Amino acid sequence: MRISVIGCGYLGAVHAAAMAELGHDVIGVDVDPEKLAALTRGEAPFFEPGLPELLVSAGSTGRLRFTDDISEVRGAQVHFIAVGTPQVKGSNAADLRFVDAAVGQLLPHLSPGDVVVGKSTVPVGTAGAIAARLTESGTGAVLAWNPEFLREGFAVKDSLTPDRIVFGLPPEPEGAAVAGDALREVYARALADDTPLVVTDYATAELVKVSANAFLATKISFINAMAEIAEVTGADVTQLADAIGFDARIGRRFLGAGVGFGGGCLPKDIRGFMARADELGRGESVAFLKEVDAINLRRRQRVVDHVLELLDHAPFGKTVAVLGLAFKPHSDDVRDSPALDVAVRLKGLGADVRATDPQAIGNARRLHPQLDYRESFEDTVSGADVVVLVTEWDEYRYLDPDAVGALVASRNVVDGRNSYDPARWRAAGWSYRGLGKP
| CA–CA distance, 23 with 25 (Å, rounded to integer) | 7
Tell the burial category of 112 from Cβ atoms under 10 Å away from its Cβ (0-12, 13-18, 19+): exposed
Is residue 333 within 8 Å of residue 266, measured between CB atoms?
A: no
| CA–CA distance, 305 with 303 (Å, rounded to integer) | 5
| CA–CA distance, 52 with 322 (Å, rounded to integer) | 29
| Active-site annotation holds for 8 | no
3-state per-residue secondary structure call for the chain: CEEEEECCCHHHHHHHHHHHHCCCEEEEECCCHHHHHHHHCCCCCCCCCCHHHHHHHHHHCCCEEEECCHHHHCCCCEEEECCCCCECCCCCCECCHHHHHHHHHHHHHCCCCCEEEECCCCCCCHHHHHHHHHHHHCCCCEEEECCCCCCCCCHHHHHHCCCCEEEECCCCHHHHHHHHHHHHHHCHHHHHCCCCEEEECHHHHHHHHHHHHHHHHHHHHHHHHHHHHHHHHCCCHHHHHHHHHCCCCCCCCCCCCCCCCCCCCHHHHHHHHHHHHHHCCCHHHHCHHHHHHHHHHHHHHHHHHHHHHHCCCCCCCCEEEEECCCCCCCCCCCCCCHHHHHHHHHHHCCCEEEEECCCCHHHHHHHCCCCEECCCHHHHHCCCCEEEECCCCHHHHCCCHHHHHCCCCCCEEEECCCCCCHHHHHHCCCEEECCCCC
Residue in 226, 230, 257, 265 annotated catalytic? 265
Supply the residues annotated as catalytic.
265
